[in-house]
Amino acid sequence: MSRILILGGGGMLGHKLCHELSGDGHQVFATVRDKANSYREYAEVFAGATLLEGVDVLDESALLEALNRSSPEVVVNAVGIVKQLPAAQNRLISVAVNSYLPHRLALCCRQRQCKLIHISTDCVFSGRHGGYTEQSPSDAEDVYGKSKFLGETDASQPSALTLRTSFIGRELHRPTHGLVEWFLAQKGRVKGFRKALYTGLTSRELCRVISLVIEKHRDLAGVYQVASETINKYDLLMLIRKVYGLDIEIEPQDDFVCDRSMSAEAFTKATGYSAPAWAAMIKDMHDDPLPYSSWHC
């Protein structure tokens, strides 16, 4: 088993990594910006992890202290200025967190002879074309997509692996920002976009991918896309509604067109991994033993 440092332990992906990787027997450390006692409500999540509180990853001394305290063999960068936040339009913050930080971490990991796994996004693409590969040029037009592309590591940095992907999942804190928590909180009618195509994973499934890399494919470097079978956002909401037994009307809409579908052929060839079907991933998300409904009541 490995010593793992997760940056962004309170986020949608970070908290799942804490729970899943510690459950696999790894020694997990996780940075959070708040005081550790603000996470007491989520004891089931962090019982197997050591929280490093008050860490601003842009504070060089705080970041180095977290690395020194954890002495990791693997660092997972789950920190990011996500598209839904107002800060995503702030160029200074977006570039610092999404662009500069991953390369700073790659250098730190090279110096410490450990591995960085950095999480990128399908939003490096505009969605005008679809079927994107690792060789497809980034054509994002917004600050978020451009800054995330600049943060991707490459094969010249053997200490680092960038997983370009997208994910949906449950969240701890309110206000929440993702599709799943938004949809579960709805009443009445919502729109479902049939021409918005998606090849992400659930956060729980992405944790399994990261675990696979840590345990069996730590030598991978450069950018690899991790993707599922293509689904449109209308069908995705319909599937979530069915599995969760929700009384929500979903109105099909065709006016919004966006195809950020990606090919995961290279990652499958390198690792043998193929994502489960969407029905299986949504059921797995629903069957998660963590008590999200009690946290959000």
Residues near 169 by Cβ (< 8 Å), separated by ≥ 6? Answer: 12, 13, 16, 178, 180, 202, 203, 204, 285
Structural domains of the chain, count: 1
Check: pTM over 0.85? Answer yes or no. Answer: yes
pLDDT tens by residue, the chain, 297 residues: 999 999 999 999 999 999 999 999 999 999 999 998 889 999 999 999 999 999 999 999 999 999 999 999 999 999 987 776 676 677 898 999 999 999 999 999 999 999 999 999 999 999 999 999 999 999 999 999 999 999 999 999 999 999 999 999 999 977 778 999 999 999 999 999 999 999 999 999 999 999 999 999 999 999 999 999 999 999 999 999 999 999 999 999 999 999 999 999 999 999 999 999 999 999 999 999 999 988 876
Per the structure, the complete domain to which residue 131 belongs is given by: 3-295
Nearest CA-CA partner of 246 in 189, 164, 285, 173: 189
Q: Return the DSSP state at 258.
A: E
Distance of alpha carbon 236 from alpha carbon 238, whole angstroms = 5
> With helix as H, strand as E and coil as C, how does 74-115 read?
EEEECCCCCCCCHHHHCHHHHHHHHHHHHHHHHHHHHHHCCE
CATH number for the domain spanning 222: value is 3.40.50.720
Q: Give me the pLDDT at residue 249, please.
A: 98
CA atoms within 13 A on the CB side of 229: 8
Classify burial at 50, counting beta carbons within 10 Å of its beta carbon; exposed 0-12, middle 13-18, buried 19 or more: middle
SS3 category, 225:
strand
Q: Could you give the 3-state DSSP secondary structure of residue 241?
A: helix
Q: Are strands 222-225 and 188-193 parallel, antiparallel or unpaired?
A: unpaired
Q: Which residues contact 241 (CB under 8 A, 6 or more apart)?
A: 183, 248, 250
Structure-token pair, residue 167: 């994910």
